[in-house]
Structures are given as structure tokens and as C-alpha cells.
């Protein structure tokens, strides 16, 4: 369908929804600010016809409720995704494109300076923010669709859209494999500069992790999830030093993890790993500090600090906090002054981060290992922990599938 067709369909659907609201009002309502278990109980109390009505008439509601089955949330969120993509394409087509002559040179004093043209400045003042939001959001929606289209390629499992919104910086929760039936679940929190427009790179990271788990344990039952369910800092300099992004997002992360329990239908208890990169590790630390983190293992990569000073404070069994710091990663040493934790045990202190021995995390190797077909390469910077073929990725996968004895420590 064209963008105009989707936009028209969206308008028609909204009309149907207005008519159907009286019917929905007659049905059992979702609990107000309900826990994942309460949400799950509400959904189970509906018959199939009622569930279908809620999905068709209020997909935003169904798609956003932690505790509902992944299949139900996915169906609802795909409806919202398709409608929003059509709407945003139509809106973008209605905005004049930016002037081709964006830049010009002026001479001020002895040296020429490159500045925006008056024509471009006028366009930017009138349309710039809206244009950039629409373009960025559409990039993210297209990236999500690309992941849908990759299902089956190289054995990649079905993708599930467990959360979606293009409002503000955007929200997207994308799972490789159904977490309701997966024995091993991994829920990854991305860090600074993450938004809907850049979701593709973060989804790719969890796709690579899923593939690596299959090498670690062939045919392992695994779901790897990209969780962009919070407003991440958008600027390294202006935003990342502040802690409120982590504390503001922590309750939503805890609720999502609890929701995975409420919707789980597997035959045995799930094994769940919380994974964070950069500022995402800070959020996971804040989630453990201010509530109960429903996880069995925690993996930090490139952490600037997690607000607590000890692995014992991470709500997982002793010995199940893991950390990776690549040699070329500068974020941990810089970030510790804003997000490091404290402890007063022997060898402790202040501004501790997971890379410090006193913190008590297992340090995982990120250097190249081995030779021949099984050799791995090293991760050398802040963004390379999920690069295909790296030791960092291999070690993460081993934790996710519970093969702890094969995890290697730094040399």
C-alpha cells in the first residue's frame, strides 16, 4: 500500500474505533496502572472475540501492556506501526524539501566561514524540527520492518514487536524469538543517543547475539530483546552526565521484566539476562537499586557506572554479574565520576564501576582469542561489543545460554 492508502486506512480505522468505543466500554476494562500479573489476568478473562475487538479498536492499549502474550502485543503493535508509517510518510510528503543550497561562505575578518544560507534558515525555522522528526522516525520504522523481513534468513526466528511509539524520541521493543516460550531470555538496554531513528543498529546487535547463542549451544531456545522503553540521553556532553534518565526509565524496565514472567508459557523456569551498554548499564543499576530486578544474570558492557558500588547489590545470585571493558573504551573512566557507586567494605570506596576489582563482577575477555576457524577478534572501542566474530560477543552469548564454564577472563 502507498503512504496515502495507509493514511486513508488509518482515518477509516479511527472512525471505526470511535463507533466501537461503546462496545469496548461494555467489556471488562484493563486494570488502571495494573501490574503485569493483573494485566495478564485481565487478558485471560476475555474471550477470543473480545480480545480481537480490543486489538483492532485499541491497539495502542494492547501493545503497551506488560504481561500480555508476545503474540498479542506483536499483532497490536504492528497495526500501530503500519498506521504511523503511512501517516508519517504522508506528512513528510506534504513538507517542502530542504533547500539544496544549505551552505554558503562569508568572509569575516581574515578567514572565510561556512554558514547556513538565509533560504535554508527560513526553511529550518518553519519546517526543520518536524521534518527531522518525521525522517528519523521513518528510518526507525523501516529498520523494524527490515528485521521482520529477515525472519528465516540464516535460521533467524520470527521477530516480535513488544512495544512501539514514534512520539518524542520514540519507543521500540523488538524480540528475536518468542520470549513466552524461550528457555533463555536476554533483554538489552541501549545507551546514550539511542532513539527510534537509530533503533536499527541496536536491533542488529541483538540479532548478532541470537546468532552467537546458536553457535554456543546449537538449537538453544533463546529470545534476545532490544528494549528501548525509556528516554535515553541524546547528547554525550549535555545529557549523559545526568542520572535522571536512568532513574526515570528504571520502573518501566523492571515492569517489562516482570511482564516476561507473567506471560511466560514455557515448560520450565526461564533463565533471564539483563544486558546494558554504556548509559543502559546505568539504568539497569538504577533499576536494581530502587526495586527488584527480575533477572538471573547481568551483563555490563562499556559501563560508566551503575549507581551502586557492588555486584552484590544487583539482585542476582552471587557470581552472576559480568562485565566487559574494551581496551580502547574511554567511557568507563570518564563516566565513573558521575555514575560510579560507593561501598565501604575493605578495598571499596567511591566512584566504583563494574570494571573495578572491588566492585566484584566477573571480568570477561574482549581480546582476540584462538586461531583457525574458531578464532575470535578483539573489541577495541565503545561500540564494538556486539561485532560479529568478537570474543566480547561470544562471551555474552555463553552467559545468555548459561554456559558459564566456557566464559573466558581477560589475559
Question: What per-residue confidence (pLDDT) applies to 303?
Answer: 98
Which residues does 269 contact at the CB level (< 8 Å), separation at least 6?
none
Please answer whether residues 288 and 315 qualify as being in contact, where contact means their C-beta atoms are separated by less than 8 angstroms: yes
Burial 149-178 (b: 16+ CB within 10 A, else e): eeeeeeebbebbbbbbbbeebbbbbbbbbb
**Of all helices (H) and strands (E), which one includes residue 274?**
strand 271-277
pTM for this model (two decimals): 0.94
Find the helix packing angle between 279-290 and 331-339, rounded to 10°: 30
Question: What per-residue confidence (pLDDT) applies to 344?
Answer: 81
Of 410, 381, 406, nearest to 215 by C-alpha is: 406
Per 3-state DSSP, what percentage of the chain is helix, strand, and coil (rounded to 5)?
A: 45, 15, 40
Euclidean distance between CA atoms 335 and 327, whole angstroms: 15
Please answer whether residues 305 and 342 qualify as being in contact, where contact means their C-beta atoms are separated by less than 8 angstroms: no
Of 194, 23, 199, 159, nearest to 78 by C-alpha is: 159
Dihedral class, residue 399 (left if φ above 0, else alpha if ψ from -120 to 50, else beta): alpha
Sequential pLDDT tens for the chain (411 residues): 566 665 666 666 666 666 788 899 999 999 999 999 999 999 999 999 999 999 999 999 999 999 999 999 999 999 999 999 999 999 999 999 999 999 999 887 777 889 999 999 999 999 999 999 999 999 999 999 999 999 999 999 999 999 999 999 999 999 999 999 999 999 999 999 999 999 999 999 999 999 999 999 999 999 999 999 999 999 999 999 999 999 999 999 999 999 999 999 999 999 999 999 999 999 999 999 999 999 999 999 999 999 999 999 999 999 999 999 999 999 999 999 999 999 987 677 899 999 999 999 999 999 999 988 889 999 999 999 999 999 999 999 999 999 999 999 998
Question: What per-residue confidence (pLDDT) applies to 244?
Answer: 98
Helix ranges restricted to H, 45-98: 48-57, 59-63, 70-93
Question: What per-residue confidence (pLDDT) applies to 372?
Answer: 87
Of 214, 104, 225, 207, nearest to 147 by C-alpha is: 207
CATH classification of 180-406 is 3.30.70.1290, yes or no? no
Of 376, 357, 354, nearest to 367 by C-alpha is: 376
Which residues does 132 contact at the CB level (< 8 Å), separation at least 6?
none
Strands 111-116 and 171-176: unpaired
Domain range annotation of the chain: 1-153, 180-406
Question: What per-residue confidence (pLDDT) applies to 348?
Answer: 77
Euclidean distance between CA atoms 91 and 166, whole angstroms: 14
Please answer whether residues 375 and 332 qualify as being in contact, where contact means their C-beta atoms are separated by less than 8 angstroms: no
**What DSSP state is assigned to residue 154?**
G
Euclidean distance between CA atoms 60 and 171, whole angstroms: 12
Euclidean distance between CA atoms 387 and 53, whole angstroms: 43
Helix ranges restricted to H, 94-229: 118-123, 129-149, 199-216
Entry field: residues in the chain: 411
Cα-based distances in Å from 376 to 179, 392, 406? 29, 9, 14
Question: What per-residue confidence (pLDDT) applies to 373?
Answer: 84
Question: What per-residue confidence (pLDDT) applies to 111?
Answer: 79
Question: What per-residue confidence (pLDDT) applies to 110?
Answer: 74
Amino acid at each position: 500500500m502507498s503512504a496515502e492508502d495507509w493514511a486513508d486506512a488509518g482515518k477509516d480505522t479511527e472512525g471505526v474505533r470511535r463507533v466501537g468505543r461503546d462496545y469496548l466500554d461494555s467489556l471488562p476494562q484493563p486494570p488502571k496502572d495494573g501490574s503485569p500479573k493483573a494485566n495478564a489476568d485481565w487478558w485471560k478473562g476475555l474471550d477470543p472475540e473480545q480480545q480481537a475487538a480490543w486489538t483492532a479498536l485499541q491497539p495502542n492499549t494492547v501493545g503497551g501492556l506488560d504481561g500480555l502474550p508476545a503474540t498479542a502485543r506483536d499483532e497490536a503493535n504492528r497495526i500501530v506501526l503500519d498506521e504511523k508509517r503511512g501517516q508519517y510518510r504522508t506528512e513528510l510528503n506534504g513538507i517542502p524539501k530542504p533547500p539544496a543550497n544549505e551552505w554558503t561562505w562569508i568572509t569575516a575578518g581574515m578567514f572565510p566561514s561556512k554558514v547556513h544560507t538565509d533560504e535554508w534558515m527560513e526553511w529550518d525555522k518553519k519546517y526543520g524540527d518536524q521534518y527531522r522528526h518525521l525522517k528519523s522516525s521513518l528510518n526507525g520504522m523501516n529498520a523494524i520492518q527490515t528485521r521482520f523481513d529477515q525472519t528465516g534468513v540464516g535460521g533467524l526466528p520470527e521477530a516480535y514487536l513488544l512495544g512501539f511509539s514514534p512520539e518524542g524520541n520514540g519507543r521500540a521493543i523488538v524480540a528475536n524469538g518468542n520470549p513466552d516460550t524461550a528457555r533463555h531470555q536476554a533483554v538489552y538496554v541501549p545507551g546514550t543517543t539511542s532513539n527510534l531513528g537509530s533503533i536499527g543498529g541496536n536491533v542488529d546487535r541483538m540479532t548478532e547475539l541470537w546468532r552467537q547463542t546458536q553457535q554456543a549451544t546449537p538449537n538453544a531456545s533463546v529470545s534476545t530483546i532490544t528494549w528501548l522503553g525509556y528516554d535515553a540521553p541524546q547528547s554525550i556532553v549535555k545529557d549523559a552526565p545526568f542520572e535522571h534518565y536512568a532513574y526515570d526509565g528504571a520502573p518501566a524496565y523492571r515492569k517489562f521484566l516482570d511482564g516476561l514472567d507473567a506471560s511466560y508459557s514455557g515448560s520450565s523456569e526461564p533463565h533471564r539476562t539483563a544486558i546494558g551498554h554504556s548509559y543502559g548499564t546505568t539504568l539497569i543499576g538504577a533499576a536494581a537499586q530502587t526495586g527488584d530486578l527480575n533477572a538471573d544474570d547481568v551483563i555490563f558492557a562499556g559501563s560508566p557506572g551503575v549507581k551502586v558500588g557492588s555486584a552484590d547489590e544487583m539482585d542476582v545470585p552471587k557470581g552472576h554479574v559480568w562485565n566487559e571493558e574494551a581496551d580502547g573504551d574511554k567511557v568507563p573512566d570518564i563516566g565513573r565520576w558521575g555514575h560510579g557507586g560507593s561501598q565501604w567494605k575493605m578495598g571499596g570506596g567511591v566512584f566504583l564501576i563494574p570494571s573495578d576489582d572491588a566492585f566484584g563482577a566477573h571480568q570477561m575477555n574482549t581480546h582476540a582469542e584462538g586461531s583457525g576457524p574458531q578464532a575470535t577478534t578483539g573489541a577495541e572501542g565503545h561500540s564494538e561489543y556486539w561485532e560479529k566474530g568478537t570474543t566480547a560477543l561470544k562471551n555474552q552469548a555463553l552467559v545468555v545460554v548459561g554456559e558459564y564454564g566456557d566464559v573466558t577472563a581477560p589475559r
